[in-house]
Amino acid sequence: MALLQIAEPGLSAAPHEHRLAVGIDLGTTNSLVATVRSGEADCLNDADGRAMLPSVVRYLKDG
């Protein structure tokens, strides 16, 4: 449910139009990725079934 929806005049979405979106909680130790399905937040799991993933950043030599 959107609390506030902003759109250009004449380009607003039709009521109850379905859109896809994800939320990312990027923590200093762990991260979660979730979406809303049927009005409920649903965490996306990795291949091993884990929702909480280690927050890792990799810097390569060439940038």
> Model confidence over 25-52: pLDDT tens digits?
999 999 999 998 777 889 999 999 999 9
pTM: 0.55
SS3 52: coil
